[in-house]
Chain A
Amino acid sequence: MSGETVLRVKDLYKRYGDRIVLKGVSFEIRKAEVKAIMGPSGTGKTTLLKCIDMLVKPDSGRIWLEDLELTDPRIDIGEARKKIGFVFQEFNLFHHLTAIKNVMIGLTKVKKLPKDEARTIAERALLKVHIERELWDKYPAQLSGGQKQRVAIARALAMEPMIMLYDEPTSALDPQLTGEVLEVIKELAEDGMTSLIVTHEVGFASEIADEIMIMMDGKIIERGDPRKVIHNPRREETRRFFSKILKIGDESR
């Protein structure tokens, strides 16, 4: 748990029209740490992740990636984004490129690596997420949801990011496909990949995360050790949130 801070978010605010989505969010992640963000839908979790990658500009507050201030308008944001891996809920694979080309394009067009070197790195990244050779030349439409999301993880991973941001990585998947994706995320985390994960998978979060942050109404209302937050929360809202999603989980079984 020790080690230098990779990401620091301080007092982040974001509003859309007259709806305030983020109301002063602050936290830090150290190297190799895994943090999960949980909470009801529409409470700003996705907006928070997008703000960190500056895909959405926060209204106020500051974000640092190590010593680099991402919220400083003078920095080259493209340079900074290279170091942040983003995994989307809807995968967002490039539809016109095969699996391996999806992974290579960031390496050749952003990092300007020669093609053969990019290919080697891409192959390694794909194997790491258990996408075997026979799938490398398939187009996204020819892959299952779980395979798509793993290719998307490989695409982010190949850029050698300092941190991975996962935005509900299994929410768009059929239940029987979530396992293969969660397994990959877990393996990467165990290898020391610093990760920030927005998820609704309680079991997964409690198993993998060093800390769970509960977000409600644009604020982090509770944070701490997963077991404690899930089973013995300080706040009544947190207790109600977990009892609701755990009950739904039981019924579906």
Chain B
Amino acid sequence: MSFWEEFLSKLSFGTLITLQLLTVTIPLSVILGILIGILRVYGGRIGKTLANLYVYIFRGFPLLVTLMIMFFGLADIGIRLTPYWAAALAIIICSSAYQSEYVKMSILSIDEGQSLAAKSLGMKRSTEIFYIILPQALRVALPGIGNEIIYMILYSSLAYIVGVNEIFSAAISVNSIWFKPTEVFLVTALIYLAMTTMASYGLKKLEHRLWIPGFETRRKS
């Protein structure tokens, strides 16, 4: 097999694994991030404390360290995760902690009057949160969440450290045989660039679809 044959076949397999990892981690971390963000505002004493603790811990650990804990640390206490699931879990936990920050801030940015108006109509707290506050807050949080999604695409490469055969590990293994770092890492970088470009495009589209007249200017007044 020539260099390019081996490289491209390994790389396309790696890309598939990375995409597989992202289709699990992106939606789950967004959902978890939203839930934790809600808990940090409306969770009551216990909910708030637990959610804040979660964010305090996993925003304070480097993703690489969390990843090691999920793979080796959990194995030590008898929970054996496959490399794939250890990586997925670490990325979800780390990213959701960051995302909850955007969600929390955006909820707090919604003016008090919205909540008063909801209450004055007789809405229950849960109705108010889900139909009045969140539809507005999540629009505000969307650019921040989008940013985290871009990071997630890039940081998924860390999964190679526990032995997931994703793009970066494919690049490393091809390079160790053929030693052509320029070609190998340039093409690898281009694949990441292609993925983040697609994600940015999708996020733009989504922002555009959810756009409401005057929604940004409203916050300045």
> Which residues of chain A have a CB within 8 Å of any CB of chain B?
50, 53, 55, 78-82, 84-86, 88, 90-96, 105-106, 109-110, 138-142, 152, 155-156, 159
Chain A residue nearest to B215 in the complex (CB): A95
Mark out the residues of chain B between 79 and 135 whose CB falls within 8 Å of any chain A CB in the assembled complex: 113-114, 116-124, 127, 131-132, 135
Chain A residue nearest to B116 in the complex (CB): A55
Interface size class of B (residues with CB under 8 A): 20 to 34
Contact A109 B123 (CB under 8 A): yes
Which single member of B121, B135, B136, B213 contacts A141 (CB below 8 Å)?
B213
Chain A residue nearest to B214 in the complex (CB): A141
Minimum CB–CB distance from B178 to chain A (whole Å) comes to 55
The reply to whether the CB of B212 lies closer than 8 angstroms to some CB of chain A is: yes
Contact A140 B214 (CB under 8 A): yes
Which single member of A55, A109, A140, A159 contacts B119 (CB below 8 Å)?
A55
Contact B121 A105 (CB under 8 A): yes
**B214 neighbours in A (Cβ, 8 Å):** 95, 139-142
Complex CA distance for A93 and B120, rounded to whole angstroms: 12
Known A81-B122, A86-B120, A139-B213; contact A105-B218, beta-carbon cutoff 8 A: no
Complex CA distance for A95 and B117, rounded to whole angstroms: 11
Chain A residue nearest to B110 in the complex (CB): A95
Contact A109 B117 (CB under 8 A): no
The reply to whether the CB of B40 lies closer than 8 angstroms to some CB of chain A is: no
Contact B127 A92 (CB under 8 A): no
Minimum CB–CB distance from A198 to chain B (whole Å) comes to 15
Contact A79 B120 (CB under 8 A): no
The reply to whether the CB of B217 lies closer than 8 angstroms to some CB of chain A is: yes
For the complex of A and B, 7 pairs with smallest distance between CB atoms:
A141-B214, A82-B122, A92-B113, A86-B120, A92-B117, A106-B121, A81-B122
**A55 neighbours in B (Cβ, 8 Å):** 116, 119-120
Known A90-B113, A139-B213; contact A96-B135, beta-carbon cutoff 8 A: yes
Which single member of B131, B212, B218 contacts A109 (CB below 8 Å)?
B131
Minimum CB–CB distance from A108 to chain B (whole Å) comes to 9
In the complex, 11 of the A-B residue pairs with CB atoms within 8 angstroms, ordered by the A residue number, are: A79-B122, A81-B121, A81-B122, A85-B120, A88-B113, A91-B113, A94-B117, A94-B132, A106-B123, A141-B213, A152-B117
Complex CA distance for A85 and B214, rounded to whole angstroms: 27
Contact A96 B136 (CB under 8 A): yes
Chain A residue nearest to B118 in the complex (CB): A94
> Which residues of chain B have a CB within 8 Å of any CB of chain A?
113-114, 116-124, 127, 131-132, 135-136, 139, 212-215, 217-218
Minimum CB–CB distance from A78 to chain B (whole Å) comes to 4
Complex CA distance for A138 and B121, rounded to whole angstroms: 21
**B118 neighbours in A (Cβ, 8 Å):** 94
Contact A92 B116 (CB under 8 A): yes
Contact B217 A141 (CB under 8 A): yes
Contact A78 B123 (CB under 8 A): yes
Contact B121 A110 (CB under 8 A): yes
Contact A95 B122 (CB under 8 A): no
Complex CA distance for A50 and B120, rounded to whole angstroms: 9
Contact B114 A92 (CB under 8 A): yes
Chain A residue nearest to B117 in the complex (CB): A92
Contact B117 A88 (CB under 8 A): yes
Known A105-B121, A110-B123; contact A94-B116, beta-carbon cutoff 8 A: no
Which single member of B121, B123, B212 contacts A95 (CB below 8 Å)?
B212
Minimum CB–CB distance from A228 to chain B (whole Å) comes to 33
Q: Which of A55, A86, A92, A96 has the most CB of B within 10 A?
A: A96
Chain B residue nearest to A141 in the complex (CB): B214
Complex CA distance for A53 and B120, rounded to whole angstroms: 7
Contact B215 A96 (CB under 8 A): yes
Complex CA distance for A138 and B213, rounded to whole angstroms: 9
Complex CA distance for A88 and B117, rounded to whole angstroms: 8
**B124 neighbours in A (Cβ, 8 Å):** 78
